[in-house]
């Protein structure tokens, strides 16, 4: 059972997401909040596995909210669900620690699959969002003066993390075992001085040393 919390100020959208989650085997909505402030209080009692977070919230923004959630509850996976798809918003959300970034127009089946992927270690993104992330790499030329001494294979694995691929997909694409992918990711974390996928992606974006 995957426990899900929803942070969305639009009542209709919030109730619709709750009905979708509760109406699907293997999922349960354990919290519904209209603001980050309420969510930060509520999740202490109703701890979710995955949190669906809007960006444009009254009071504290979703980006500020995900940063606080990750600092207080690092094991909670946060999936941004929003109407925004511009580069600046994507970058801010990833840097804040978001585990995924989907548009609100994402079909219900794909949304549920994204929740599963995040819970299993993936980093789901809508195709439009993935393109935005890749554009950020394509518009940067050359290497940063600090490339962290990543090997070519580690760069390949990091590129897949940026695109939101799960460990299983990375293993299948690179023709290696999932264990080998975990080994490379452990080395990437050590070299980048980070402890999560979102932090690794944020460093890659900030230093612009992964090629598209």
Q: In terms of domains, do 146 and 203 share one?
A: yes
Residue with more model confidence, 114 or 88: 114
Q: In terms of domains, do 105 and 186 share one?
A: no
User: What stretch of H or E contains 65?
Assistant: helix 62-72
Alpha-carbon distance values, 137 to 87, 121, 130 (Å): 11, 23, 11
Q: 196 lies in a domain? A: yes
* Window from 141-155, 162-176, 189-203 with minimum mean pLDDT: 141-155
Q: 98 lies in a domain? A: yes
Q: In terms of domains, do 117 and 151 share one?
A: no
CATH of the domain at 176: 1.10.10.10
pLDDT in tens, 99-137: 888 888 889 998 998 899 888 877 677 666 666 665 655
Q: Which of 170, 181, 7 is CA-nearest to residue 79?
A: 7
Reported confidence tier of residue 212, pLDDT bands at 50, 70, 90: very low
Q: In terms of domains, do 33 and 62 share one?
A: yes
Q: In terms of domains, do 38 and 69 share one?
A: yes
Last residue of a domain, one of 94, 129, 164: 129
Mean pLDDT, to the nearest integer, of 20-40? 95
Q: In terms of domains, do 87 and 18 share one?
A: yes
Q: 153 lies in a domain? A: yes
Q: In terms of domains, do 28 and 125 share one?
A: yes
Residue 145's pLDDT is 46
Cβ contact 161:118 at 8 Å: no
Domain that holds residue 113: 2-129
Q: 134 lies in a domain? A: no
Mark 176-208 as b/e (b = at least 16 C-beta within 10 Å): eeeebbeebbeebbebbebeebbbbbbbbbebb
Last residue of a domain, one of 129, 148, 169: 129
Q: In terms of domains, do 58 and 87 share one?
A: yes
Reported confidence tier of residue 56, pLDDT bands at 50, 70, 90: confident
Q: 212 lies in a domain? A: no
Last residue of a domain, one of 108, 129, 150: 129
Q: In terms of domains, do 55 and 117 share one?
A: yes
Backbone angles phi, psi at 10, to 5 degrees: -80, 115
CATH of the domain at 98: 3.40.50.2300
Ranges of beta strands (E only) in 91-145 are 100-103
Task: Give dist(CA 113, CA 119) in Å, integer.
Answer: 10
Q: 75 lies in a domain? A: yes
Mean pLDDT, to the nearest integer, of 137-157? 69
Q: 45 lies in a domain? A: yes
Total number of domains in the chain: 2
Q: In terms of domains, do 41 and 124 share one?
A: yes
Q: 135 lies in a domain? A: no
């Amino acid at each position: 059972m995957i426990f899900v919390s929803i942070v969305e100020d639009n009542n209709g959208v919030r109730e619709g997401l709750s009905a979708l989650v509760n109406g699907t085997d293997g999922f349960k909505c354990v919290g519904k909040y209209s603001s980050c402030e309420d969510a930060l209080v509520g999740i202490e009692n109703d701890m979710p596995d995955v949190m669906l977070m809007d960006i444009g919230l009254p009071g504290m923004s979703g980006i500020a909210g995900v940063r606080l959630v990750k600092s207080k509850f690092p094991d909670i996976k946060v999936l941004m669900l929003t109407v925004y798809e511009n580069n600046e918003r994507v970058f801010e959300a990833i840097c804040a620690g978001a585990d995924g970034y989907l548009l609100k127009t994402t079909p219900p089946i794909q949304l549920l699959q994204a929740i599963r992927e995040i819970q299993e270690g993936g980093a789901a993104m809508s195709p439009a969002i993935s393109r935005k992330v890749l554009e950020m790499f394509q518009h940067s030329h050359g290497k940063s003066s600090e490339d962290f001494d990543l090997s070519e294979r580690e760069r390949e694995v990091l590129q897949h993390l940026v695109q939101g691929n799960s460990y299983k997909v990375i293993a299948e694409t690179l023709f290696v075992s999932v264990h080998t992918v975990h080994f490379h990711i452990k080395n990437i974390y050590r070299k980048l001085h980070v402890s999560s996928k979102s932090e690794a992606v944020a460093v890659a974006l900030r230093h612009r040393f992964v090629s598209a």
